[in-house]
Amino acid sequence: YQRRVRGRNSAAMPLKADEEQEEDASREFAIGAVPDLQFCSNRVTTSQFTCVTFVPKFLVFAFSKLANFYFLVVSVLQIIPATSQTQGLPTILPMLLLMVSIEGVLAAIEDCRRHEADDVANNSPVQVWDSAHKSFMQHTWAQLKVGDIIKLVQGEQLPADVAIIGTHEPEPSAPTGECYVETKSLDGETSLKQKEALEVTSSRITCDADIENIHGLFSAEAPNVHLHTFTGTLKTKSQHNDEIVVPVPVDSVLLRGSSLRLTEYVYAVVIFTGHDTKVMMNSRTPEIKRSTIDLMINRMIIFVLAAMYICCLFGGIGGAIFDSQVDADAWYLGVYYDPSTATLNFADYTLDAILDFFAYWVLMSSFVSVSLIVSMVLVKAIQVYFMQANIDMYQDPPDTAMTVRTMNLNDELGVISFILSDKTGTLTDNIMQFRKCTVRGRVYGRGQTEIGRARLRRLNQLPNKGDEGFSSQGSATASKHVDFDDPSFFDAMVGKKGQEHQEECTVFVRALAICHSCIRMSVNKEDPDDDALGELSAASPDELALVDAGAFFGHVFTKKAKKKMQVEVGHNVFHSYDLLQELEFTSERKRSSMIVRDLQTGVIELLCKGADSEMWKRIKNSESPELLKETKAALKEQANDGLRTLVYGSKVIDDAAFAAWNAEYEAACVNIEEMEKRKKKQPNRIEMLMHEVESGLTMIGTSALEDKLQDGVPATIAKCLDAGISVWMLTGDKQETAINIGFACSFLDEYTDFLVLNNEDCPGSDALRKRLEAYVRVIERRKGELDSTMRHALVIDGDTLVLAMEETCLDVFVNLIQLLDSVVANRCSPLQKASTVTMVRTELPAARTLSIGDGANDVAMLMAAHVGIGISGQEGLQAVNNSDFAIARFRYLQDLLFVHGKNNYLNMSRLVVYMFYKNIMIVMTPFLYTISYAGFSGQKFEPEYALQLFNAVWTFLPILFLGVLDQQVPRRFAKLVPRLYAVGIRHGAFNSKMMVAWGLTAVCEAVFLTYFVIYSMENNGANGGSVGMWGLGLVVITAALVVANLKLFAHQSAWNWIQLVILFASILIWWPMAWLGSSKIITSSNFTHVLAEGQLGVFQQLNRLPGFWLTLLLVCSAPSLMDMLRRHLSRWTQPDLEYVVAGAACSGKSDEEIIAAANTVPRVKVAFKSSIPEELMSGREIDLRATADANDYVTLMRNAEKICCSLEDHVMKHTVPEGEMPNISSAASELTNSQNEYESPRQSQGRPQTWFSQTPSKADSHTDIEMAPMEPKRTVSESPGSPPAEQRLDIGVPVNGGRGSSPRELVNSAQTYE
């Protein structure tokens, strides 16, 4: 999908690092020898500047910003005498230099920290083998070279990417080659990873002196970003002096940044150094995300500059015309007059107009505020403090507060329209508990899960007695990962259900204890006789729960050394196994296998576990069909309970067959070409051999794990839907499980109509397109109807989602997702998740996406969205480290979006529009004066100090405090009424219309201020005279700053004493500063006289005039009163949601009364413009929520359900021969007339939500609907007595699940069809 987007749209997102092409050439080097090729140095530099390059590089960076460059040009124009208004002094330059200097100091401090970190890393000590001295010598990290042999001791960090050739062995006679590393700095995972040294070298190293005998030639892949793969070989000599080539597996490679743990020391060979290491290859600067407001500001600046250009052009041309029409006797004006000919020199008027144009440009330079960017940065920085200090988003344990990682996106949290969420660890706790299992078709495990109970409540069914839930946590042998209740399983384990089934249960439990990738960390590696069990470390919570379940059932995994595993099956009774091969789990394979030899019997056995979709293909054909049917039915029931299921299989392999297979497999693993093919996911011999050995399995049983929902997830999702946000869940579960989780999490509910799509229903793009078009028509037909408050959802699997994003379906799919409230996508891979986010972001440019996840597989999705939120859970910190914001629980989205996000967006919007407003107003006043009374000369009449400090002093703090402290409503009511958030979804507080409105208001108020002051002060000076040009300017600037501050006062959502004090203090401070500006100290100084030109004594004289105070009172109160009157009249005539909620809250009403009052305000339409060409789109206006009465809606739905259920029962009772058409209309009419006799099916039969499935229309006149109860793949559960698929009837009744048509419409449609 991303490749197609790039072909169509050059502005699409760039390829991620792991998608970039890599070099095919590998590197070769000899151990301990100076490499022939000049590889990268191990010196790492992450800083951006040096002492020499800081000034030039930073200046280029600073003035590459449009605003800084603009004010630099203005400063240059102020120096040119012909265009200067300040006697050639750049008065705006000090403010510009101050802002740039602040930015430079911050950049320098940040870069100094990088330099310090680089110096610490580059100068860290490491022991390197010196062949000349036959010992290890201390070097620095920066001195390391490819091929060096190093010695690392416990606790040290890895200085480079290395291959392990030996480890400290507590028992030299039985070397294991084991070591443990912590990769927290790489992937955020705190669990230790077990690594193994190369056997061909570790068996020959017992001390430092043995290093001298280690020789060989390494062949390694080219440097790349893949942390979890490695392709390489070592060509060396065996103990018999034969030349051999052995593979270097990824388990023998340690990466830079990881730390050695629980191992005294290791020996290793350096493979990659410096910026070639994998961690540095992954340390590229991420894409800079910018908020919607930031992006719009650039457009607004261009618009304002265009308006400024028009004003300057008007002033320049007007000045030239004025000069051409003035009397020739006005020689003092400096017009182009030739005394010898008594004529005007019109040839110079063009130059005159150009100079006037630039003079006006300098005069109006403050159209764009020099403090805009600084104000925004300060506000966002303070917002970060309040967000991170919010106690409502603090989780204890594990002592985790909300973290802001991308300050630029604070306000973007207030405009989210799509939330795309992972499930495991995001909506759930990611703490797995073993709940149920099946052994050869027999089901064990009682109790209902939270998701299962929600499903039964939805179907109006009660849990079976005793199934309300059971906890085995009180058992002495249980752990937090086991919650299993079924005494009959323990009876089977001791033979009470027959010896054969006892053996079957034992095999299953043994598979739990053996088939895994967990490690048992030794408590005391120095004492091999220490029998104390160390901590169990697993790569995933699933593995931990399964191994704990094996221990709970009596098979305790105790030790896993190199090629050895030990399991305790009774008190001090141990069984040992040789690990012959381990076939690892990948997202493509969806299974993992262990090939072991039982040392008690000598039998070689393969144990395999994986997803049912993969395992059924590998079960042998001779397996009992009845057994498979019973197992599949159990899996379906467990999936309905929201459990994560795995299928276990096994087979015995004879020694000769294994030896032949193993020889081929190891040869393929050494083959560089095959390894490269596998890494690139191309057909390869390695995968083929894995598939070969994992076929013909005997089914052992299944396991079912519960991952409980986090607290507050359903309520949070329900509020997001109520706010108008479309919420998506992207999960890898089966469709039945995903639907039930959707109901438990409130993605779906009893008032949600949803369409189910999968690859069985839609095998091709054409069929899928017809289904999508049919559902779009169904939804659009409901718009404006009484039942239009119904929510609509889509349940779609990963394969069908891929089809939907193809060119043939993309336009209608994009059209559909705008109509949907929620989407549940199952069987999605991490790549599909990221592609889905990219699709929504690219095809709907006006929409804003938020991705939320907790694991490393969610990183691509987080980085693809406008806002990425990482949850600090059980899967490490990689998602958090690549996110924009980090929270500990999903429910904290309520505070993050509805409280902070909304307030940040509204406050930042007001800050930006207000900054433009006050600057336009203050700049227009001298422009109006000069074109009206100064002959288009560009003469300013306001003091320069007032213009320069207008933004920095008198109007700076009030808007700063508003941007931080103002709240639309108190935070409790913001979460109580999520619909308040909708203003951000429709960009209602900051858009082009809003900017034009504020700009026109500024112009109108500037006209009023200028002309009212000029006319009112005309004869109000001393002795009835004029106050002069500078006096008029002081009156205008005084009135302007008062009006600007009162405007902010009128537009605050809430007043508090801090804001009021700051507001009125900013006004009152003008008087002493203006008094000082008119004093002799300022006006006579050689440094400040330009700032106070002509001001000596003017302000003191004005303050003694009654007309000044009267004019100030009238001219300041009129705009403010008109503004407040307009706002209140608008609220009285058409109250908005904010006003209604705030009024109800202030009146002391209860929460229920506030919600009821909010529901009286109609919902608004939300539409997004697609990026797909118009000829491919229908251009429909989307109404996500229309208003309807809830009681009428429920009544209508129940009536429709009665008719549809009755019609379904009628069809079930009458078998229609193939080829004949039943009398549907008469049946429907009969049922309609007697509908009151039927009870609601939800009350009587507990039918599922969706009974009918849509099928694509074959005719253009109507939509065919497949009149049949949903099959298991489409519904949550089957209805009792549902007819088989053969009895499906195609009729023209456009309904889905009994939704969307009244009973009379059903009858009319049936009659029309007949």
Residue type, 1299: R
Q: Residue 896's closest CA among 981, 988, 986, 987? A: 981
Q: Residue 185's closest CA among 101, 270, 289, 282? A: 282
Tokens 């300050």: give the residue. 407
Q: What CA dihedral angle connects 888, 893, 895 and 897, to 10 degrees? A: 140
CA distance linking residue 357 with residue 82, whole number of Å: 11
Residue type, 449: T
Please check whether residue 857 is in contact with residue 830, taking contact to mean a CB–CB distance below 8 angstroms.
yes
State how far the alpha carbon of 1213 is from the alpha carbons of 228, 838, 1232, 1281, 1287, in Å: 59, 49, 17, 10, 11
State how far the alpha carbon of 705 is from the alpha carbons of 510, 518, 684, 702, 1273, in Å: 18, 17, 33, 10, 21
Tabulate helix, strand, coil % of the chain (nearest 5). Answer: 50, 15, 35
CA distance linking residue 267 with residue 362, whole number of Å: 70
Tokens 């049917």: give the residue. 629
Please check whether residue 185 is in contact with residue 169, taking contact to mean a CB–CB distance below 8 angstroms.
no
State how far the alpha carbon of 29 is from the alpha carbons of 140, 215, 221, 253, 1251, in Å: 21, 11, 12, 16, 67
CA distance linking residue 751 with residue 1298, whole number of Å: 11
Q: Is 1055 exposed, middle or buried (0-12, 13-18, 19+ CB in 10 A)?
A: exposed
Q: Residue 978's closest CA among 717, 709, 712? A: 717
Q: What sign has the CA pseudo-torsion 164, 167, 172, 176?
A: negative
Please check whether residue 165 is in contact with residue 148, taking contact to mean a CB–CB distance below 8 angstroms.
no
Question: What letter would DSSP give residue 619?
Answer: B
CA distance linking residue 829 with residue 621, whole number of Å: 29
Question: What letter would DSSP give residue 600?
Answer: T
CA distance linking residue 926 with residue 932, whole number of Å: 10
Whether residue 397 is preceded by a cis peptide bond, meaning omega within 30 degrees of 0, is: yes
Instruction: Find how far residue 916's CA is from the centre of its chain.
Output: 31
CA distance linking residue 719 with residue 981, whole number of Å: 10
Please check whether residue 651 is in contact with residue 682, taking contact to mean a CB–CB distance below 8 angstroms.
no
Contacts of 86 (CB under 8 A, 6+ apart): 78, 944, 1090
Q: Residue 555's closest CA among 563, 541, 565? A: 565
CA distance linking residue 1268 with residue 1284, whole number of Å: 8
Q: Is 487 exposed, middle or buried (0-12, 13-18, 19+ CB in 10 A)?
A: exposed
What value does the CA radius of gyration of the chain take, rounded to a whole number of Å?
Answer: 38
- State which H helix or E strand residue 683 sits in: none
Q: Is 422 assigned a catalytic role?
A: yes
SS3 1180: coil
List the catalytic residue out of 422, 483, 612, 761. 422
The H-assigned helical ranges of 599-682 are 612-615, 625-640, 655-670, 672-679
Tokens 């009992």: give the residue. 624
Neighbours of 512 (CB within 10 A): 28
Please check whether residue 654 is in contact with residue 726, taking contact to mean a CB–CB distance below 8 angstroms.
no
The backbone region for 441, taken as left when phi is positive above 0, alpha when psi lies in -120 to 50, beta otherwise, is left
Residues marked active site are found at 422
